[in-house]
Structure 1
Amino acid sequence: MKNNYRATTIALLASTILAANVAHAADAPAAAAGDEGTAIIVTGTRTVGMKAVDSPAPIQVLGSDLLKRTGQPDLIQSLAQNLPQIQAQAFGSDLAAHNLSMKLRGLSPNHTLILVNGKRRHGSANVNVSGGPYGGGAAPDISFVLADSVDHVEVLQDGAAAQYGTDAIAGVINFIQKKADHGGSITATGGQYMDGGGRSLDVSGNIGIAPVENMYLNISAQTKFKDYSFRGDVDPRVYGSNTVAAANLAKYPALTTAANYPYANRVLGDPKIRQTTVAYNAGYTFGDFEVYSFGSFGKKIAYAYENYRTPATVVSSSGVPYFPAGFNPKEKIEETDYQVSAGFKGVYADTNFDLATQYSKDMIGVYVVDSANAELYKATGFTPSNFHDGDFITTMWDTTLDLTREFKTGLAEPLHVAAGLEFRKESYQIVAGDPASYYGGGAQSFFGYSPNDAGYHTRSNFSQYLDLSQKVTDKWLVDGAVRHEKYSDFGNTTVFKLTQRYDFNPAIAIRGTVSTGFRAPTLAESFYSGINVGPSSVGGVLPANSAGAAALGFGGLKPEKSTNFSLGFVLNPLPKLTITIDAYQTTIRDRIIISSSFYGFRGQYCPSSNYNASGASTLSGCVSSYNADNYALYNQSAVYNAVAAALGGTIPAYVLTQDTTAGTVRNTSGTVSIQTFANGVKMRTRGVDFLATYPIDLGSYGKIDWSLAMNYNDNKVLKIAALPSALYSSTINPTASALISRFDVSQLQDTTPKFRATLGAYWKKDKLSVNLRESFYGASGLLVQLPSTGADFREHIAAAVITDLDVSYQLTKAVKFTIGANNLTNHYPTKVADVIRNYYLATGNRSYSSVTYPTFSPYGINGGYYYARVGVKF
């Protein structure tokens, strides 16, 4: 009753005030190069005309020219190279390779809210189930936001859930689109990596027109291609002085004719991508009112190499290989993404209103090409080479009413009152693939989604917010917000935010924030299902909101909750010199992670009946001695029953038993296991942001804009949730039965450098301009297990300085030519340790060829990228 009363009260206030969000994104003027701090901002505040430098919360503004001073026309890379608080994902395994994401302050990609023109951008249908720092990510795919369509970007580095709702725990990134009704540009960019691969070509354009008086229509389009890169090494299964390679070459001499031999395993590198996107931004003004619309439509086709398969992988019933030289399967996606927004805003009776609605859809078809189904081929003598594994589809319908109004209070400035309502409905769907993709062991490299995985799921939520901003004196600003949301799947939540700023004098100001936040689990996290049935295994991801997960005691996902604190200073010690320093702490409770694997059957851990009195195994394939604790860990009836239920009631008999001359016995290579998304950890993030900007006029030698941005960030897992009582908890080795392992903890804590800094210098004189950026990345690491001994080992990436250089010359008034380099010195991260490399080479294990460089490298694994660009303005 209390929650309903609170929701009704806020809604009545919103309706009574009739005050719209006056900070319309489309009304924000562009920032000139070097003047980003004086730009009018619309993110993180609902006060009219506020400049970034006057903001009570830390916010950075990046103009369109700055965003384009990178070689690869991808906004994720542009943001990551300019803002040390942002880390771009360098490499993704399986489907994650096609939708790389980013994280702010070392948190999950899901913790940063993405807006376009102040309106929520829909998430990707492709959820990352690989675990680690990007695990669970289903954030918006920013590759569908065109750099040419963007006037500037506002990055709010502060929790803002009370203002914007879910996903804003780490901050908000708002892409403000161009409104120009005349002129335009065409740009062509080409480049590739110094050491080969990654060849790219991008052609983009923008045009502004005025179809009728008082109307603007701004259209942008881009088509781009990027080819594979490869940064692996020789595959020791088919090359080198080890017994595995020797046996394979003796049995399959055609191996030496495999493409790219001996570098047969091509998985370590960039995928091949072709993508075309069109975006528009339009508005028509009449009197005090405006009708507006914006949207985008994009198509992406991408291929990613998966691990090379030797000829023995697919053989006939008589043992003849289907691929005499082995094969390189590839995962392919065909993605269609669109979003259309429309709204009506204006001023009525001294109030401002903005009523908007938008619909979006992301559809991803998943395919495996140049592959085979080994079980199908052995059983029938036939297998397709291309498979349709299934589809992911997500939709969002979002309607908002934002209202603001000013009230005189007799204080330094009027009271700014903002309120609003939002209704959002979302859906998530998995569509089953072709039967051949999931028959038996499934298509090699990626098991298809079966009818057991398929499903259609929806939810809705209704929210209300109230935001009050008052300048109490000429020096003291207070801003408070409260937001209530009601979700159809997990209930109510209420969060708040209180921000203050005090300007002691024009040179010194102090600001700080205390807030609570939340993040609703995405539908993909709640309902993703991927149960794979192999020749001797059943495993995968059990939907978190399924009956099977409930039977194990997980009980469905609930929202993450956060508490945020920040304290900062804004300093202007010299004319034109601006310094901001902001310390922050964010604590997230019930953070959603993907769990470790839980076993219902693992054949090598045999029951006591398979051991003799001295503890030796009597069945080949069992571990060397009986251990009751291990047997209980790896043979849990609750897990077995949950997986069986997900498959329709039974586990295939061949997974559990095998035929021998002595009869049917336990299959010692068989496994039955599952993972699931769960509210698993409590995490704390602490850090400090520093930014200094200083333009210098050199007279006849031109002008140079200096900037120094630094970030110290420390993530720590404070607590791991206990296992549900239905699962076995070991008292002998508690870490073996933890919800996540110490290696997973290291992924969350250690893979983001604790310290990053970027020194930028932009010099311009007449027709020549040079942009130089020096980025320092502190050391990072990851706890791994040595394959040779099972001992813990910390993989290490040494600190590095990366140089980016962009040189432009204005050939004519309309034509500009640019050459440049990202990672000018072609610097690579530290290679995997020799103790790991040598073991893989000596044992003929493919892992070395696919982990030559640690894939968590904050600046990638491809080395230097060099490019040229021609731009024409009209």
Structure 2
Amino acid sequence: MKRINPITLALASSFLVAPVALAQNADTNDSAEVEEVIQVVGSRLSMRTATDGAAPVDIISGEDLAATGMTDTAKALQYAVPSFNFPSSSITDGSDAVRPASLRGLSPDHTLVLINGKRRHSSALVHLNGTTGRGSSNVDLNAIPMSAIKRIEVLRDGAAALYGSDAIAGVINVVLKDNSEGGSASFQLGQTHKGDGEQWRASASTGFSVGEDGALTVSGELQHKNRTNRAGPDTRQQYPLLENGDPDPREETFDRQSFHIGQAEYENASLFANFDMTLGDGRIYAFGGMSDRKSESGAFYRRAIQSNTLTEIYPDGFLPILAPDVKDYSMYAGYEWYLGEWTLDFSGGYGVSEFQYNVENSLNASLGPDVTPTSFDAGTLTNEESNITFDAQRFVPFVNNSDLSIAFGVSYRDNTYQIEAGEEASYINGGYEDRPAGSQGYTGFRPDAEVNQSRDNVGVYFETENQLTTDFMWGAAVRYEDYSDFGDNTSWKVSGRYDITDRIAVRGAVNTGFRAPSAQQLYFTNISTLAVDVDGETVLQRSGTFNSLSPVTDALNIPDLEPEESDSISAGIVWNGYDGLAITLDYFRINIDDRIILSNQVFPGDSPAVADALSTVSAENARFFINAVDTKTEGLDIVASKTFSLNDFGELKAQLAYGFNNTEIESVNLPPLFDGLESVLFDYDEKIRMTDSTPDHSGSLGFTHSLGNWKTDVRFNYFGTYIIGDYDTGETAEEANDTYGPNWVTDISVKYAFSDDLSLIVGGQNVFSEYPEEQPVESAFDTIFKYPNTNSPIGFNGAYFYSEVEYKF
């Protein structure tokens, strides 16, 4: 029996097929590929086929990711897996550079991300504005170059019993290329139908033989994007009135497309390596990579009429530019060996995400025109994570002449979160004419916001799995975790599958899970200028986000954060049809208690306690992280695929995937001080963001036609309706609903192979230039923000056309 890496395969007893895996029909002659597909996350039993597991897994090959023509890993995954959502956003501060993504309609931090079966660290950024997953941090999938990816496995089932925190919605495992020879290089160039958003990407990957059977694979990518802009005109008054009360003549010549709403300008360089070779009685392995990114996106335009502008420097006002440097480094190494019947694995890894806030084309008005800089270092966020794991697995004889797989392991994780203050000019109040303090666009972190906090945890798990008969398999797992900051948790999982006939099977799983509060949620704090709603009017105010160490949260008796806890069930049917047709249908339900939210702003007028707490800081309002909401999420996933032989007309592969998910709020539990203030602390907009800001329905229908040297891909992608709350005074909550969608997006690409080595691809994404519905115009901002600037699954760039040259060697 082939030995299996217990980490790479050690997710909950589960897996299914996705569009790619289903496309493999019974007539395939690529036995090596089939063997590789069956060894995905979810099962330790090596003699499995792609549809023989107990819970759904999507298997997306690197080739299929590249075929989307997308230049971002997360966006390519969105169009390959309907249950994965990667919405576009603009003017959302740091979220323009590291966008949130979610699985099965849950928060971005409810999905665990692995690389080669090992836990991946999350981004240092906290999403603070109106995006999906507000108040969360997610793993930055775009830090992993697509050229380094062999395949991505998306487990759509809870796996906390094996991996601990974060695996409530599921697990994404990125498997790196591991070829010992050969490689590829490609260059893509494209732009939008509007003539902006020009971008190029150069990527390469190559493998080297090491020793007798070892391999080192190195992959890299360089990428550049120009910005797009879909802002409408700013019709507001820009200049002070003349002494006689007449408008300033410059109002007639002012360029009213002053905002930047669209894709950020973006540069990224990334490099990954994957190494594996036999050493003694086992194998040594290592992998890691780095990513260095800089983006430039606009904030709110500062008009010449406003007090936060100095007309001596910017006579016509100015657009602050947020230009963060985002760096990401990781490395992992381990040794797997065999002791008798046991397969043992010991490994350790380290990852760090660094997010440095830079603000350009700005000023600190309180310093005056002669003193203020126009660019600032506003501070740096750093998240570090270290992991050490030991795993053991073997097979033992069991009843009915079957083998019982048993596995156990122990892990240690240390997490450190740091906030480094910005330069003094980015936050200081210089006192000039009572002007607003701090760098405009993003106020720098003050010294009293600096933190350097760590926490650690130890986890122990035990798992067993058994193919009891040819028709029935079962699995069970339990995990105990002990955290240094809030205590312990025990989670478990039971799964099973029964083959009713050779073609029809039923499967299901029941599990509990948890998510520990992230270090970012525990320790992030800052005071910055945000657009907030005050008495139905959007105004800019200094808004404070305060952590549990702050005297503000202490004064308001905000309780310490506790873990979110979940229980979930899944049940499905698998049909392996005739001539390679396969269809799977899976239902799931996930209940989560004590979900952590970033509260809405509270103001001094909301209560005397809030007024007293804010009197000691420079913030005009406050928000904080709290365990406040219980939710229920239900959904259904359908996947089908078939390959048709067209004889002299080539081969046609058809793939269908559909996902439905719906989240409902079961209860809201606020701290005692805020009883009766639910509409303030967790208002209607926040409820909509948690339940309806992502489409309930999404799907795709793809066709791939191959004939000789030609290959054509056509994909029809469907995104259902979603809601962006926009509650203004005078409206009822129901009247304030702004519903967008549904939308169909069509992607087409044609590939011609000049030889086995050289190919040319010409394609288009969203070729019919589908846009979100325009927002109803009820204020000047609705004219500027022509399309919703957050949570659009199709973005707001319109059509994008590209050409790509690919060379294999």
Q: Structure 1-normalised TM-score?
A: 0.85
- Alpha-carbon distance between aligned partners in 2 of 1:64 and 1:513, rounded to the nearest angstrom: 29
**Counterparts of 1:733-812 in structure 2 under 5 Å?**
735-737=678-680, 739-786=681-728, 792-812=735-755
> What residue number does 1:693 align with?
641
* Paired AA for residue 742 in structure 2: A
2:212 alignment partner, SS class: coil
Partner of 2:424: 435
Deviations 1:546-585 (A, max 9, x none): 4532432222111100011111000123231111100000
- Checking the alignment, whether the CA contact within 8 Å between 1:128 and 1:138 is kept in structure 2 is yes
Amino acid at match of 1:158: D
Instruction: Tell me the amino acid that sits aligned with residue 825 of structure 1.
Output: F
Structure 1 residues 533 and 335: CA distance shift in structure 2, 3 A = closer
Task: Give how far 1:329 is off.
Answer: 0.8
- Residue identity opposite 1:22 in structure 2: P
Larger radius of gyration: 1
Distance 1:538 1:286 in 2: 59
Give the Cα–Cα distance (whole angstroms) in 2 for the partners of residues 755 and 63 of structure 1.
24
SS at structure 2 position matched to 1:310: coil
Aligned partner of 2:622 in structure 1 is 674
Q: Which residue of 2 aligns with 1:870?
A: 805
Q: SS of 1:46's equivalent?
A: coil
TM-score in terms of structure 2 length: 0.91
State the alpha-carbon separation in 1 of the partners of residues 418 and 122 from structure 2. 13
Q: Distance in 2 between matches of 1:745 and 1:821?
A: 36
Distance 2:207 2:22 in 1: 21
Question: In the TM superposition, what are the counterparts of 1:348-427 in structure 2 within 5 Å?
Answer: 348-377=339-368, 381-427=370-416
Aligned to 2:588: 584
Q: Corresponding residue for 2:463?
A: 467
Deviations 1:485-523 (A, max 9, x none): 000010100000000100111111000110000011110
Q: Secondary structure at the residue paired with 1:313?
A: coil
Q: CA deviation at 1:179?
A: 1.0
Q: Which amino acid aligns with 1:85?
A: S
Alpha-carbon shift at residue 52 of structure 1 (Å): 2.6
After the TM superposition, which of the residue ranges 677-686 and 132-141 deviates more from structure 2? 132-141
Post-superposition offset of 1:113: 0.7
Give the CA deviation at 1:47: 2.6
Stretches of structure 1 that go unaligned for 5 or more consecutive residues are 1-18, 603-632, 645-649, 653-670
Q: Which moved more, 1:30-39 or 1:335-344?
A: 30-39
Q: CA deviation at 1:238?
A: 5.0
Partner of residue 513 from structure 2, selected from 513, 517, 521: 517
**Which residue in 1 is equivalent to 2:59?**
61
Matches within 5 A, 1:165-564: 165-238=164-237, 253-254=249-250, 261-266=255-260, 268-286=261-279, 288-313=281-306, 321-377=312-368, 381-440=370-429, 441-532=437-528, 538-564=542-568
Deviation at 1:335, TM superposition (A): 1.8
Question: SS of 1:759's equivalent?
Answer: strand
- Whether 1:714 aligns to 2:649 is no
- Aligned 8 A contact 1:340 1:358 in 2: yes
Q: Give the SS at the match of 1:202.
A: strand
Amino acid of the residue matched to residue 700 of structure 2? T
The corresponding residue for 1:22 is: 6
Flag structure 2 segments of 5+ consecutive residues without an equivalent.
Answer: 25-32, 430-436, 531-538
Q: 1:142 to 1:205 in 2, by over 3 A?
A: same
What corresponds to 2:535 in structure 1? none
How big is the shift at 1:366? 0.6
Q: Structure 2 CA distance, aligned partners of 1:150 and 1:761?
A: 23
Q: Secondary structure at the match of 1:134?
A: coil
How far apart, in 2, do the equivalents of 1:148 and 1:686 lie? 35
The worse-fitting range, judged by mean Cα deviation, of 465-474 and 547-556 is 547-556
Counterpart Cα distance in 1 of 2:448 and 2:248: 38
> Which amino acid in 2 is paired with 1:746?
I
The answer to whether the 8 A contact 2:298-2:319 is kept is yes
Tell me which amino acid in the other structure corresponds to 1:34.
A
Secondary structure, aligned partner of 1:818? strand
Partner of 1:81: 79
Structure 1 residues 795 and 194: alpha-carbon distance in aligned structure 2, compared to 1, 3 A threshold:
same
State the number of aligned residues: 774
| Structure 2: distance between partners of 1:297 and 1:682 | 38
Distance 1:735 1:113, change over 3 A: closer
CA distance in 2, matches of 1:326, 1:690: 52
Residue of structure 2 equivalent to 1:860: 795
8 Å CA contact retained: 1:315, 1:322: no
Pick which of 426-435 and 285-294 moved more.
285-294
**Identical aligned pairs, as a percentage?**
29
Structure 1 residue 539 displacement after superposition: 2.9
Query: Is the contact made by 1:372 and 1:384 (CA closer than 8 Å) also made in structure 2?
Result: yes
The verdict on how the C-alpha distance between 1:67 and 1:245 changes in structure 2, with shifts beyond 3 A counting, is farther
1:437-460 CA deviation, whole Å, 9 max, x = no partner?
112321111111001111111000
Please state how far the C-alpha of 1:382 moved relative to its aligned partner.
1.9
Give the match's secondary structure for 2:135.
coil
Match of 1:94 in 2: 93
- Going from structure 1 to structure 2, the CA distance change for 1:826 and 1:643 (only over 3 Å counts) comes to same
- Counting only pairs closer than 5 Å after superposition, residues 521-670 of structure 1 correspond to structure 2 as 521-532=517-528, 538-599=542-603, 601-602=604-605, 633=606, 636-644=607-615, 650-651=616-617
Paired residues of 1:146 and 1:279 also in contact (CA < 8 A): yes
Deviation of 1:813 (Å): 1.8
CA deviations 1:517-542 (Å, max 9, x no partner) are: 00111100111101248999653101
**Displacement of 1:214 after TM fit?**
2.4
CA contact (8 A) 2:397 2:403 kept: yes
Partner of 1:4: none
Q: Residue type matched to 1:472 in 2?
A: L
Which amino acid counterpart does residue 578 of structure 2 have in structure 1?
A: L
Q: In the alignment, residue 483 of structure 1 is paired with which amino acid?
A: R
Structure 1 residues 87, 249: CA separation in 2 closer, same or farther (over 3 Å shift)?
Answer: farther
Structure 2 Cα separation of the partners of residues 248 and 363 of structure 1: 53
Amino acid at match of 1:128: H
